[in-house]
């Protein structure tokens, strides 16, 4: 079974308007409500591609119940831990000429609930896949991902980590199966300016040297680049389309990659399906649908670099 962990889920309230006028009443042209959070996004795309999975994490209040109800209506399996106080955050995303986000803080999570999460994860075995995605709330120990991977280290579970900065660097010693920084995050990790694909390969390989088995780098309009555990370097293009949505594209790429790899065992196809899934979400107002992903797969080419 595939398990995703979203420590701080959200309801994403997306509004479209012509121009945001601060200090005035604004009327929206369109509005959408979706369950959000990086791990939840991964779960939704995995399910869209036919891969059963279970969403883990913490929810609370009426907003948390909405997330569970919405996911179950999409036939997704959930095993969230319900907190007794607070409410799952609401993130407001305002789309006009520029995109503005107002993200909620989320509830406090006491140590007793972290222990419940550990107990759920302790039941995983080497046939399972665990995806840790997103930031760790400020109320939690910043070493939580490290603690989880240390706890599971002897089980040889394939762990995927999609996080930034020290959250990512500090888990590399536990040899995650896959990490997925984007090119901007790669620059931030090493405090460098990446001017070419050769530069991206150089620093992706440094992440491999630090412990990651596979490094997938999303590069926006320039495609995606993968350094595999065999040190093979693969690069994909980007299909044609109009970008409508920046939320969830990277998560969709992770889901597509995992689905492609599980279905074929081949890294070139995993990259192809990952690139198609990420692009399909970027070209949609919500996360991508299977039909659109299948359409874009035919426009993706993967070459050795």
User: Is 251 an active-site residue?
Assistant: yes
| Catalytic entry in 122, 127, 141, 251 | 251
Strands of 214-285, DSSP E: 214-218, 224-227, 233-236
What is the Rg, in whole angstroms, of the alpha carbon atoms belonging to the chain? 19
Whole-number Å distance between alpha carbons of 105 and 114:
18
Give me 235's structure tokens: 């690069």
**Range 222-235 average pLDDT:** 96
Whole-number Å distance between alpha carbons of 21 and 147:
45
Residue 268 has pLDDT above 90, yes or no: yes
Identify the weakest region by mean pLDDT among 16-25, 93-102, 251-260, 292-301: 93-102
Give the residue carrying structure tokens 């990952």.
Answer: 274
**Per-position DSSP letters for 94-128, written without gaps between them:** EESSSEEEE--------HHHHHHHHHHHTT--TT-
Whole-number Å distance between alpha carbons of 5 and 278:
20
- Identify the CATH number of the domain defined by range 2-304: 3.40.1190.20
pLDDT digits (tens, 9 = 90+) for 16-52: 999 999 999 999 999 999 999 999 999 999 999 999 9
Contacts of 14 (CB under 8 A, 6+ apart): 31, 32, 33, 34, 93, 95, 247, 285
- For residue 99, the model assigns a pLDDT of 84
Whole-number Å distance between alpha carbons of 138 and 171:
18
- For residue 137, the model assigns a pLDDT of 86
pTM: 0.94
pLDDT digits (tens, 9 = 90+) for 3-13: 999 999 999 99
DSSP label of 252? H
- For residue 247, the model assigns a pLDDT of 84
Contacts of 62 (CB under 8 A, 6+ apart): 87
């Amino acid at each position: 079974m595939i398990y995703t962990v979203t420590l701080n889920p959200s309801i994403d309230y997306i509004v479209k308007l012509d121009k945001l006028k601060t200090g005035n009443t604004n009327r929206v042209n369109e509005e959408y409500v979706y369950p959000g959070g990086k791990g939840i996004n991964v779960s939704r795309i995995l399910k869209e591609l036919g891969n059963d999975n279970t969403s883990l994490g913490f929810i609370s209040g009426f907003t948390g119940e909405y997330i569970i109800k919405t996911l179950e209506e999409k036939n997704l399996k959930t095993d969230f831990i319900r907190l007794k106080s607070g409410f799952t955050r609401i993130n407001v995303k305002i789309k006009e000429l520029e995109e503005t986000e107002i993200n909620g803080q989320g509830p406090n999570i006491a140590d007793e609930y972290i222990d419940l999460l550990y107990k759920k994860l302790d039941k995983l075995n080497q046939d399972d896949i665990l995806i840790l995605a997103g930031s760790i709330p400020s109320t939690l120990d910043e070493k939580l991902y490290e603690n989880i991977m240390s706890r599971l280290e002897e089980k040889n579970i394939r762990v995927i980590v999609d996080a930034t900065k020290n959250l990512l660097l500090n888990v590399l010693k536990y040899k995650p199966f896959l990490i997925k920084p984007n090119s901007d995050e790669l620059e931030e990790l090493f405090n460098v300016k990446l001017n070419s694909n050769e530069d991206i390969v150089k620093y992706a390989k440094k992440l491999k040297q630090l412990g990651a088995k596979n490094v997938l780098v999303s590069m926006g309009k320039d495609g995606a680049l993968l350094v595999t555990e065999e040190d093979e370097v693969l690069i994909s293009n980007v299909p044609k389309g109009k970008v409508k949505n920046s939320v969830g594209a990277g998560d969709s790429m992770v889901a597509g990659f995992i689905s492609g790899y599980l279905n074929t065992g081949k890294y070139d196809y995993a990259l192809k399906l990952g690139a198609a899934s990420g692009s399909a979400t970027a070209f949609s107002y919500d996360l991508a649908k299977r039909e659109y992903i299948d359409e874009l797969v035919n426009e993706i080419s993967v070459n050795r670099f």
